[in-house]
């Protein structure tokens, strides 16, 4: 599937001693979406948006070592006559010394002659890294401006981790005009570095630029138009995450220091054999207990008491993806964990007051969201005609939020029909 998008200009960063302004260039092929706000809670936002970057660059795909060249070399060594080689080495060493001297001179002259080319090539690579993000990343993160909050979403490179940063409008000290919607955002390569410069003493303004939607078609030469091959997995991944979030699960809270202990243990230990799982042992009124296999190291979480019903023992895999949460530990009040079952997805939500960060992990690293998940098949099905589906969609498009009962009353439909349309 080929996905076309077009940006007006590029993401711009204006950083000074007292203020920073970051302007995101949205995809102008979509309906107008724009936003402008000055950050009030700067450091928590910096850590949260940096954790989102860690999701984007995460790739834990297992790549086995290619030993074919080594085995070919071994076979060649077995066929060598070492006695003959020992006799020839002395004469060969004299020849090599003379040739090495001549080769050094040739290399010096070549480097001098090619210095201009090398400098130009490096300059091009630097420009590509700083101005053409698509040469390095296939997909841009998605930003949504909603009446409740502004949130960013992305998948990791291996598509096994889902990240979502939601910011309530309390995060911003000053708000300008905004239009709700969802759009692709053009992220420049240096944007992550600029996020690291956010400080309390500097004002920082985030802007999804609206000017891209105001340019007439006669000025199309000023657009930067890009085409990428968008796999169906990109859209399917969001569908699977949304479906998995609606499934029943076991929910409990973890203290930030308990998450720190998880990451600290995984940093110190290196597994050489399986099983590589975390086994959660949950008993009502008792601290959460986690067993790390294959070492069978047990960590008790005295600050985190399980308040749910019934006893549970749930195993999850792909645990090293939890390192994404490390930057959030100092700024999070708590982590709310939802486990759907052994070998099923898990969700970790960092509560930062006016911000929340959701990390959705598939059952294990190789079992990514986009290709192997089929959680949409577990959702309830209903027979709803296309016209009714479109009517429900138009209500949501106009109001942006609402309960099933409110939508049913507005459209004179029964609640079951509305729920069926929403599911579809």
CATH number for the domain including 340? 3.10.150.10
Beta-ladder partners of 174:
38
Residues 330 and 415 in one domain: no
Q: Which of 206, 230, 254 is the last residue before a domain boundary?
A: 230
Q: What is the pTM of this model?
A: 0.74
Residues 408 and 342 in one domain: no
**What pLDDT sits at residue 138?**
44
Which whole-number Å values give the CA distances from 331 to 43, 44, 257, 261, 401, in the listed order? 8, 6, 11, 16, 29
**What pLDDT sits at residue 17?**
64
Report yes or no on 127 lying in a domain.
Answer: yes
Q: Which helix (DSSP H) or strand (DSSP E) does residue 344 occupy?
A: none
Which whole-number Å values give the CA distances from 321 to 53, 61, 193, in the listed order? 13, 12, 22
DSSP 82-125: HHHHHHHHHHHHHHHHHHHHHHHHHHHHHHHHHHHHHHHHHHHH
Is-contact 154 142, C-beta < 8 A? Answer: yes
Range of the domain at 339: 245-376
The tokens for 215 are 């340019």
Q: In 35-80, at which residue ranges do the beta strands (DSSP E only) sit?
A: 35-39
Residues 350 and 208 in one domain: no
**What pLDDT sits at residue 212?**
44
Distance CA 181, CA 151 (A): 11
Q: Which of 340, 356, 376 is the last residue before a domain boundary?
A: 376
Residues 20 and 94 in one domain: yes
Domain count, the chain: 3
Q: Which of 230, 265, 282 is the last residue before a domain boundary?
A: 230
Residues 332 and 412 in one domain: no
**What pLDDT sits at residue 108?**
87
Q: What is the pLDDT along the chain (424 residues), one digit of tens a residue?
A: 454 555 555 566 666 666 667 677 666 666 677 788 888 888 888 899 888 888 887 877 777 777 788 888 777 777 767 667 777 787 888 888 888 888 888 888 888 888 888 788 777 767 766 665 444 444 567 888 888 888 988 888 888 899 999 999 888 888 877 888 887 766 666 677 778 888 888 888 888 765 543 333 333 343 343 444 445 666 788 888 888 888 889 999 999 999 999 999 999 988 888 888 999 999 999 999 999 999 999 999 999 999 999 999 999 999 999 999 999 999 999 999 999 999 899 999 999 999 999 999 998 888 888 777 777 777 667 788 999 999 999 998 888 888 889 999 999 998 888 988 887 8
**What pLDDT sits at residue 18?**
64
Is-contact 182 256, C-beta < 8 A? Answer: no
**What pLDDT sits at residue 389?**
92
Name which of 299, 353, 295, 293 is nearest 317 in CA terms.
293
The tokens for 41 are 């809670």
Residues 404 and 367 in one domain: no
**What pLDDT sits at residue 222?**
38
Residues 121 and 170 in one domain: yes
Report yes or no on 360 lying in a domain.
Answer: yes
Report yes or no on 155 lying in a domain.
Answer: no
Which whole-number Å values give the CA distances from 276 to 59, 227, 340, 364, 373, in the listed order? 18, 40, 18, 10, 21
**What pLDDT sits at residue 339?**
95
Residues 413 and 303 in one domain: no
**What pLDDT sits at residue 11?**
62
**What pLDDT sits at residue 282?**
95
Residues 392 and 320 in one domain: no
Q: Which helix (DSSP H) or strand (DSSP E) does residue 234 occupy?
A: helix 232-245
Residues 89 and 211 in one domain: yes
Which whole-number Å values give the CA distances from 167 to 3, 20, 171, 176, in the listed order? 28, 19, 6, 15
Distance from CA of residue 319 to its chain's centroid? 16
Report yes or no on 239 lying in a domain.
Answer: no
Which whole-number Å values give the CA distances from 148 to 167, 178, 392, 400, in the listed order? 9, 12, 20, 9
| Number of Cβ atoms within 10 Å of the Cβ of 64 | 5
Residues 53 and 179 in one domain: yes
Report yes or no on 171 lying in a domain.
Answer: yes
Distance CA 65, CA 375 (A): 33
């Amino acid at each position: 599937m080929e996905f076309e998008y077009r940006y007006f200009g590029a993401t711009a960063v204006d950083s000074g001693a007292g203020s920073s302004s970051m302007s995101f260039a949205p995809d102008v092929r979509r309906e107008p979406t724009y936003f402008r706000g000055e950050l009030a809670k700067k450091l928590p936002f910096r850590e949260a948006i940096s954790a989102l970057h860690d999701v984007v660059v995460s790739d834990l795909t297992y790549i086995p070592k290619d030993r074919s060249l080594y085995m070919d070399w071994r076979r060649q060594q077995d066929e060598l006559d070492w006695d003959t080689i020992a006799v020839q080495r002395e004469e060969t060493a004299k020849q090599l010394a003379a040739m090495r001297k001549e080769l050094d001179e040739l290399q010096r002259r070549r480097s001098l002659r090619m210095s201009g080319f090398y400098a130009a090539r490096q300059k091009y690579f630097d420009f590509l890294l700083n101005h053409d993000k698509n040469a390095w990343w296939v997909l841009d993160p998605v930003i949504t401006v909603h009446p409740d909050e502004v949130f960013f979403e992305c998948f990791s490179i291996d598509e096994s981790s889902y990240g979502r940063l939601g910011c309530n409008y309390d995060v911003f000290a000053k708000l300008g005009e905004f239009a709700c919607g969802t759009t692709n955002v053009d992220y420049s390569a240096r944007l992550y570095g600029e996020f690291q410069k956010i400080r309390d003493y500097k004002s920082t303004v985030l802007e999804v630029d609206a000017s891209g939607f105001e340019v007439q078609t006669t000025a199309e030469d000023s657009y930067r138009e890009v085409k990428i091959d968008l796999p169906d997995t990109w859209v399917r991944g969001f569908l699977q995450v949304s479906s998995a979030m609606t499934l029943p699960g076991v929910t409990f809270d973890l203290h930030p220091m308990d998450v720190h202990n998880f990451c600290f243990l995984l940093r110190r230990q290196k597994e050489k054999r399986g099983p590589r799982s975390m086994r959660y042992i949950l008993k009502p009124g008792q601290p959460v207990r986690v067993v790390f296999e294959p070492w069978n190291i047990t960590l008790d979480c005295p600050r985190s008491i399980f308040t749910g019903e019934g006893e549970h023992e749930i195993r999850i895999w792909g645990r090293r993806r939890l390192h994404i949460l490390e930057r959030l530990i100092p700024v999070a009040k708590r982590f709310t964990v939802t486990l759907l079952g052994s070998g099923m997805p898990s969700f970790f939500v960092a509560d930062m007051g006016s911000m929340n960060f959701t990390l959705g992990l598939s059952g294990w690293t190789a079992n990514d969201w986009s290709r192997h998940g089929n959680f949409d098949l577990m959702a309830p099905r209903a027979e709803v005609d296309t016209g009714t589906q479109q009517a429900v969609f138009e209500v949501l498009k106009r109001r942006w939020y609402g309960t099933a009962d409110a939508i049913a009353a507005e459209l004179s439909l029964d609640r079951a029909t509305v729920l069926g349309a929403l599911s579809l």
